Chains A and B, each alone.
Chain A
Amino acid sequence: MAAKLRVFGIRHHGPGSARRLVEALDELSPALVLIEGPADASELLPLLADPAMVPPVALLTYATDNPARASFWPFATYSPEYQAACWAKRRGAVMRFIDIPASSRLAPAKREGVSGGTPGEPSAEENAPTVESEPGSAHPIERDPIGALAAAGGYEDGESWWRDVIEENPEPSPVFGAIAEAMTALREAAPVPQGHEAAREAHMRLAIAKAAKESDGPIAVVCGAWHVPALEAKVPAGADRALLKNATKAKIVATFAPWTSPRLALASGYGAGVPRPGWCAHLWETPAGEIATRWLARIAAALRENGHLVSTASLIEAERLAVALASLRGRPAPGFEELREAAISCLCFGETLLWRTISPGLLLGSEVGSIPANVPLAPLLEDLAREQKRLRLKPEALDRELALDLRSESGAERSTLLHRLLLLGVNWGRLADAGRSRGTFRERWVLRWEPEFAVKLVENLVHGTTIAKAASGCLHARFSEARELKALADLVFAALTARLPDAVELGIAMLEKRAAQTSDCVELLAALPPLADTLRYGEARAADAAQLAALQTRILVQGALVLPYAARGLDASAAASLRAIIMNADAALRLAELGDDEHSAWRGALAALLKDTQATALIAGTAARLLYQAGELAPEEAALHLGRALSPGRAVAEAAGFFEGFFEGAGERLIHDKALRDAVDAWIQSLDGELFIEHLPLFRRAFANLDRMQRRRLLDALIGRATASLPGRELRPEAEAIWPRHLQRLGALLTGTLKTEKER
């Protein structure tokens, strides 16, 4: 080899190795920096080091014909790869990616056959966007060998192990030499890489050899520690070429997408992520001597923000405890675990729960990256353009009306696209008849394209690379923010209308969790109407529908159990709002297809309300009314309850509440329901004069919202004038014969089986 070559094995997203890498680069001063990353995205490397690029960002490659097939390579400020790029840009060194090109990684199918890989490789990867910097490696040891070594050494946190074992090594030796040695030993015990892994390493070896021939100055190779022994191994170039021969290629586009620090975390499903991005960022930003002190200070700040008292003296004690713990465990300085345990013991008074409430903010961070304006076009925009072409929807800056028939394929697909865009905050279309969107098979939209929608789409790139994926990702984020059952149920409904099955699945799971946690009657009952809507309009797949129905039952049962307790001791406004919620829930339940058990649970709760002497009168009246409507309460019984509630022993305000609860909005019922009318009439007549006058304002209030016509009909009914029909109108004898046919036509019209000429 002509030039001096050094291979630096790093830990992906390891602040410790990033710091050491910068020092090593300063020392070596290479003319060429080779970085592990898709070779065909090399021209984007200078852009990564652009000052306007604010990590966390991700390098994104996707197949031109199918943006859903995409790969992300995320970079944080403390990623050694990012620091290497910045170093090269500062020093004017040439930089290049050397890993296997994304074009062959994203090539459709038969990758296994070409590279001789294991047949069991997950095929899901073909379709799902993969997020990885060590793609396809199934073994955690290959993804993060340093983390694996740390775990073997009893450490939870790889960075603390790095510092204690690699950096604080009592016999000072070059860090990267030590890493290479450790990896050689590790790889001797591990199976020889196969398939894709072998091809990647072959490609990197060839790229390094080629660079060595071209370059005069020293060369630095920055790659995952696991690969160091393989890249330093002497393998004939011919053998490597054979591995890469006739690899299929796909046309790809490479660009950058803004990323978020929580997404760097392992928990978000990113294989080569870091468990605690917030801790890593802290390690990177803080001078080595102050790590413990400043970390504890940040914990204290987070606790104070949550309203907990933390004194400076406690901080001192926490640090002392951390140091003592480290020495008990035989570690040179307190690491992440020691600091956590000291913080729990001294600052959180032993409560792990308290730690768990503040730690996500500290550990995951909330940084959102941003990308410069001159990066290539984002795939979401391309996907939208493609969808627009396919569905023949042109973006226009003018208002344009669009009526969609959801029974036709194209209508449904257009509606789905518009609904998905709405979820992404791109209000290209607005529903003209807002409210119930799938109550009918018809939707009316008003379309108007605004330029800022493009920006919105780029922002949404963080959620996914296609409209469908981004909308689903966006819903995922909103699910985790939603606090109330109703909000969750609404989101599930939105996910169903936008046809996002995986979001629906997650939403149902979240609903279940939340339903178990809450015992707030109002929250439980308020969730029933959207759930019933969701079930009724049949958008859900069978499996989801079954789950939703079970959930609805469960929420119903829970709500029914707590309803009697929730109805006690309410003031006027709380009672009125609970009444509205009960009425809505009851209306929803009457429309839902429920089993006998559920009906009886709900009615049992209403009956309990009626019996409970502590229940607020308005609610008890409402319960009586609903039970009566459902046929559970005979007219005489209803009258009996009314009589009891309005007996002289009870306070007038309470009596009025019961009466109002029963009759509010039910004037019509009195006109048509003879049994009830008779019962109430009998009761009123049984009152003696004085009591009657006392209750008069009450009756007046109950009948005040009947209009004149209704009042007159009520009166007519009472004194027995012309019973069923309107006064002055008579039934024609021949009408009786026409009526059945008329009814049939009406029915057909209403169910939509009969179409008028205009509709065709």
Chain B
Amino acid sequence: MTVAQLPTEALRLPVEAVYAAELEALKRDDAQPKPQGWAMSPRAALIYLMGGKAADGTPISAKYVGDKRLIETAIATLATDRALLLLGMPGTAKSWVSEHLAAAVSGDSTLVIQCTAGTDENQIRYGWNYAQLLAHGPSRKALVQTPLLRAMEAGKLCRLEELTRMGSDVQDTLITVLSEKMMPVPELSTAVYAVRGFNVIATANNRDKGVNELSSALKRRFNVVVLPLPDDMEQEIGIVVKRVGEMSQALELPAPRNVAQEVARVVAIFRELRGGATLDGKVTLKSPSGTLSTAEAIGVVIGGLSHAAFFNGGALSAEGIAPNMVGAIVKDPVQDKVVLEEYLETVLKKRSDYAAYYHLLSDLV
């Protein structure tokens, strides 16, 4: 499906449609050398991701806010025809970055395979159209192409979302594709060879328990870029306040006036526990086993908002937030409890403006 064919009433358009003007501007006067099969040069792709100005002066918005070096490494990886693995906690913009990279490098971010525990080899390699198979016997026509196969034939980027969620045996079907850039079709005694420009971007979550480990053979075939949580407090508070605002509108929850204040407290507690030190850097702390990502902070505040709207007369308070917070922090009933208790006793106890949190959390623990 090309951009032109997309229905205009679509709930969400692919990024190459949303940012078509920026992509066009970057491609127009791209004088830098382009790897074969790429829609634009690596340097133009870097500008597309990090923001800046196109050669003709068109302003380009920043798609990723954070360390430029990470994006540089990601783009350089794709330029060496090595597969790219984006690792990170939930809510660190992995899929967002992979979508934009695909849009910039091959102009098409729609070749996606969502990996789940139910994904089997047929969804990675190819499947069979059984009606065709029975009527005419095995042939290319009877082959159902997966996004991966289409990407190989078209010389585009294929995105694998949440790679580690599919079984290890299925993951390993990728090994030949990644190292030899071809996919054998033994039923037809043939093989599909990837066209230049083909590559794979996979994303995976590095904190969840219960997902399948990557085999070392497969891991070795990826260059890994770990996307971190935001390192600036103000930036993170900004993200949370913005998302909370959007979500409370969608859920039709009225936003009380003191949201920003409470968000600052929640983010401060999350950052201290996550970072293993108080914000003033004076006391080192232990971190709980959970991720405490920005996304979870958003969830905690939303929970507090709904408590405020339905039970607390519209006022956002520690009573509504603290129970959600315990749920986010204490993931392991033994270890994390000790971590939280220690944090309460050594840090929060001494802060007068956190007294409500201290008492509520102590009671809940």
Give A contacts to B, CB under 8 Å: 309, 311, 313-314, 317, 320-321, 324-325, 327-330, 337, 341-342, 344-346, 349-352, 512-513, 516-517, 519, 554, 557-558, 561-562, 565
Given A345-B224, A513-B284, A519-B286: A321 in contact with B73 (beta carbons within 8 A): yes
In-complex Cβ contact of B223 among A329, A346, A561 (8 A)? A346
Q: Which residue of B lies closest to A329 (CB)?
A: B72
CA gap between A329 and B72 in the complex, in Å: 8
B220 contacts chain A at the CB level, 8 A cutoff: yes
Residues of A within 8 Å of B72, CB to CB, are 325, 328-329, 341
In-complex Cβ contact of A519 among B75, B223, B338 (8 A)? B338
B5 contacts chain A at the CB level, 8 A cutoff: no
CB distance from B333 to the nearest CB of A (A): 11
Residues of B within 8 Å of A342, CB to CB, are 73
Q: Which among A311, A328, A554 has the highest number of chain B CB atoms within 10 Å? A: A328
B43 x A557 contact (CB < 8 A): no
Residues of A within 8 Å of B219, CB to CB, are 349
Residues of A within 8 Å of B286, CB to CB, are 516-517, 519
CA gap between A55 and B277 in the complex, in Å: 39
In-complex Cβ contact of B346 among A345, A350, A558 (8 A)? A558
In-complex Cβ contact of B75 among A317, A320, A328, A558 (8 A)? A328
CB distance from B363 to the nearest CB of A (A): 16
CA gap between A206 and B106 in the complex, in Å: 66
Q: Which residue of A lies closest to B346 (CB)?
A: A554
Interface bits B134-175 vs A (CB < 8 Å: 1, else 0): 000000000000000000000000000000000000000000
CA gap between A412 and B338 in the complex, in Å: 45
B319 contacts chain A at the CB level, 8 A cutoff: no
CA gap between A337 and B224 in the complex, in Å: 16
B76 x A324 contact (CB < 8 A): yes
Given A325-B73, A561-B341: A350 in contact with B224 (beta carbons within 8 A): yes
Residues of A within 8 Å of B225, CB to CB, are 345, 350
Additional pairs, 12, CB under 8 Å, beyond known A350-B85, A512-B283, A565-B334: A311-B220, A328-B46, A330-B43, A350-B226, A513-B284, A516-B276, A516-B284, A516-B285, A516-B286, A519-B338, A561-B342, A561-B345
Q: Which among B277, B334, B345 has the highest number of chain A CB atoms within 10 Å? A: B345
In-complex Cβ contact of B79 among A324, A513, A561, A562 (8 A)? A324
Residues of A within 8 Å of B338, CB to CB, are 519, 561-562, 565
CA gap between A707 and B237 in the complex, in Å: 70
Interface bits B227-258 vs A (CB < 8 Å: 1, else 0): 00000000000000000000000000000000
B102 contacts chain A at the CB level, 8 A cutoff: no
A321 x B284 contact (CB < 8 A): no
Q: Which residue of A lies closest to B227 (CB)?
A: A350
B42 contacts chain A at the CB level, 8 A cutoff: yes
Q: Which residue of A lies closest to B42 (CB)?
A: A328
**23 A-B pairs whose Cβ atoms sit less than 8 Å apart in the complex:** A309-B216, A311-B220, A317-B82, A320-B82, A321-B73, A321-B77, A321-B80, A321-B82, A324-B42, A324-B76, A324-B79, A328-B43, A328-B46, A329-B72, A330-B43, A341-B72, A351-B224, A516-B286, A519-B339, A557-B342, A557-B345, A561-B342, A562-B338
Residues of A within 8 Å of B342, CB to CB, are 519, 557-558, 561
A314 x B220 contact (CB < 8 A): yes
CA gap between A309 and B82 in the complex, in Å: 19
CA gap between A337 and B72 in the complex, in Å: 12
Interface of chain A: mostly helix, strand, loop or mixed: helix
Q: Total contacts A to B, CB within 8 angstroms?
A: 86
List 3 A-B pairs, minimum CB-CB distance, nearest first: A350-B224, A516-B284, A324-B76
Residues of B within 8 Å of A328, CB to CB, are 42-43, 46, 72, 75-76, 79
CB distance from B88 to the nearest CB of A (A): 9
Residues of A within 8 Å of B276, CB to CB, are 516
CA gap between A557 and B277 in the complex, in Å: 18
Residues of A within 8 Å of B224, CB to CB, are 345-346, 349-351
Residues of A within 8 Å of B42, CB to CB, are 324, 327-328
Residues of B within 8 Å of A349, CB to CB, are 219, 224
Given A313-B220, A558-B342: A321 in contact with B285 (beta carbons within 8 A): no
Residues of B within 8 Å of A519, CB to CB, are 286, 335, 338-339, 342
B209 contacts chain A at the CB level, 8 A cutoff: no
CB distance from A210 to the nearest CB of B (A): 51
Q: Which among B76, B80, B286, B341 has the highest number of chain A CB atoms within 10 Å? A: B76
CB distance from B294 to the nearest CB of A (A): 19
Residues of B within 8 Å of A562, CB to CB, are 338
Interface bits B76-106 vs A (CB < 8 Å: 1, else 0): 1101101001010000000000000000000
B77 x A345 contact (CB < 8 A): yes
Q: Which residue of A lies closest to B86 (CB)?
A: A350
Residues of A within 8 Å of B73, CB to CB, are 321, 325, 341-342, 344-345
CB distance from B208 to the nearest CB of A (A): 16
Q: Which residue of B lies closest to A309 (CB)?
A: B216
Q: Which residue of B lies closest to A338 (CB)?
A: B76
Q: Which residue of A lies closest to B81 (CB)?
A: A320
CA gap between A121 and B341 in the complex, in Å: 49
B69 contacts chain A at the CB level, 8 A cutoff: yes
CB distance from B281 to the nearest CB of A (A): 11
Residues of A within 8 Å of B283, CB to CB, are 512, 516
CA gap between A582 and B10 in the complex, in Å: 67
CA gap between A117 and B43 in the complex, in Å: 50
* A-facing residues in B329-362 (Cβ within 8 Å): 334-335, 338-339, 341-342, 345-346
CB distance from A713 to the nearest CB of B (A): 45
Q: Which residue of A lies closest to B78 (CB)?
A: A324
CB distance from A339 to the nearest CB of B (A): 12
B226 x A321 contact (CB < 8 A): no
Residues of A within 8 Å of B46, CB to CB, are 328
Residues of B within 8 Å of A320, CB to CB, are 80, 82
B79 x A317 contact (CB < 8 A): no
B226 x A352 contact (CB < 8 A): yes
Q: Which residue of B lies closest to A516 (CB)?
A: B284
In-complex Cβ contact of A321 among B85, B223, B335, B339 (8 A)? B223
Q: Which residue of B lies closest to A322 (CB)?
A: B76
Residues of A within 8 Å of B80, CB to CB, are 317, 320-321, 324
CA gap between A62 and B217 in the complex, in Å: 60
* A-facing residues in B252-299 (Cβ within 8 Å): 276-277, 283-286
Residues of A within 8 Å of B75, CB to CB, are 328
CA gap between A346 and B298 in the complex, in Å: 33
CA gap between A351 and B341 in the complex, in Å: 29
Residues of B within 8 Å of A512, CB to CB, are 283-284
Q: Which residue of A lies closest to B216 (CB)?
A: A309
Residues of A within 8 Å of B335, CB to CB, are 519
CA gap between A352 and B69 in the complex, in Å: 13
Q: Which residue of B lies closest to A323 (CB)?
A: B80
B216 x A517 contact (CB < 8 A): no
Q: Which residue of A lies closest to B71 (CB)?
A: A328
Given A311-B220, A324-B77, A345-B224: A517 in contact with B284 (beta carbons within 8 A): yes
CA gap between A516 and B82 in the complex, in Å: 41
Residues of A within 8 Å of B76, CB to CB, are 321, 324-325, 327-328
CB distance from A41 to the nearest CB of B (A): 42
CA gap between A562 and B339 in the complex, in Å: 9
Residues of A within 8 Å of B79, CB to CB, are 324, 328
Residues of B within 8 Å of A327, CB to CB, are 42, 76
CA gap between A512 and B281 in the complex, in Å: 12
CA gap between A422 and B72 in the complex, in Å: 53
CB distance from A6 to the nearest CB of B (A): 40
